Homo-oligomer: A and B are copies of this chain.
Amino acid sequence: MNVVEYMHTLGQQARLASRKLASAGTDIKNRALLAIATDIRAHAELLKQENARDLKSGQEKGLDAALLDRLTLTDARIESMAEGLEQIAALADPVGEVSDMTYRPSGIQLGKMRVPLGVVGIIYESRPNVTADAAALCLKSGNATILRGGSEAIHSNQAIAACIKRGLNLVGLPETVIQVVETTDRDAVGALITMSQYVDVIVPRGGKGLIERISQDARVPVIKHLDGICHVYIDKGADLDMAETIAINAKCHRYGVCNAMETLLVAADEANAILPRLAVKYAEEGVELRGCERTLQILTDINKATAEDWDTEYLAPILSIKIVDDIDEAIAHINRHSSGHTESIITQDYQRSRQFLAEVDSSSVMVNASTRFADGFEYGLGAEIGISTDKIHARGPVGLEGLTSQKWIVLGSGQIRK
């Protein structure tokens, strides 16, 4: 069997399993999640042994330190995987939820029922814990999953897959509900993202390069975001203490995350008062500043931002700063340069807060809060499979509900169309 045939077999099995899982009750799904958690804890030593094989060959291949760190399974990370499964078991089940029930003039009763998407394909890079996290979210939302991890984590992922299989077996769900691809052949990805007869949606998790390649070639819809170029705009008349606190948190809380601020916009009226204060704080945090022409007149010792800076996700302690005349210029800059992820205005003005909320075209838009809140846990989704900047279907943090769709249901008592 070649790799394409192998992937089609996985696809057929997933499609069949998804039908069974779609009508599985909440109880059996939760018992499976808890059984997998128990099995992961019971096999912690084995997981670390298999992980050590991946780390050894990763070191031999000369993988960089950051990648090796993401690849490493420690006792704490294994415990965290098990806890994650338990947390997802504790969340409400979105499947079968009926909303908007209403009677129509014809006498039929109409509503919408939430249903799984079907089969979800997950493509991810080094972190083996994604195997358990993503599988658990899909299982709880009633979706069969095909997981394709990075080749550098193959032994770790297969060891986690074995825990998942034992957990599913224990409660009597088919093993094919969650399938971890066993080959490291790159053609497996090509097959996965084009077999739309078996796969309903692809969720890529990894760097921008991976996601761009997948989006380009996929025939199956992709839930994704490429970049997190997030903005904070300090409005005329903003509370400057609040502005300082949020601007520091949005940039410095964590640098390598998609909801960190990359560009700070400041109303010209506040620039003289706030920029020197911020420059001191950013210097303390070791953040490099790059300013527009007007910014350089206030912060004279920083670098000039180039055109490229406004379109760059640094994922690093670097921040671009631009002074704008007013909120209209701020919104225009955001709608042109933002990646549509998350933007925040710091303001005390009611009308301008409404304008910002209405006119900024991003998946999360905030008033007087740090962009770092754009996150499935903070939004109460319990967990997230990813963040979507697409407008079709789920947008922003995607949790259990984002992994479902709705169908219309009609309850009649014999009505016919006249």
Q: Which residues of A contact B (CB under 8 A)?
A: 19, 22-23, 96, 102, 104, 106, 108, 110, 113, 115, 117-118, 200-201, 221, 239, 242, 245-246, 249-250, 253, 335, 344, 357-359, 361-370, 372-374, 378-380, 390-393, 395-397, 405-417
Contact status B370-A416, CB under 8 Å: yes
Contact status B113-A23, CB under 8 Å: no
What is the distance, in angstroms, from A410's C-beta to the closest C-beta of chain B? 4
Contact status B408-A364, CB under 8 Å: yes
Q: How far is the CA of A415 from the CA of B113 in the complex (A)?
A: 36
Contact status B409-A365, CB under 8 Å: yes
Q: How far is the CA of A87 from the CA of B196 in the complex (A)?
A: 38
Residues of B within 8 A of A104 (CB): 378-380
Contact status A407-B365, CB under 8 Å: yes
Q: Interface of chain A, helix or strand or loop or mixed?
A: mixed
Contact status B22-A417, CB under 8 Å: no
- Known contacts A22-B359, A221-B392, A344-B410; 8 additional CB pairs below 8 A are A106-B373, A108-B373, A221-B390, A367-B410, A368-B411, A369-B414, A370-B415, A395-B407
Contact status B405-A368, CB under 8 Å: no
What is the distance, in angstroms, from A202's C-beta to the closest C-beta of chain B? 11
Residues of B within 8 A of A410 (CB): 344, 364-367, 369, 373-374
Contact status B249-A392, CB under 8 Å: no
Q: How far is the CA of A395 from the CA of B372 in the complex (A)?
A: 33
Contact status A412-B358, CB under 8 Å: no
Contact status A246-B392, CB under 8 Å: no
Contact status B369-A108, CB under 8 Å: yes
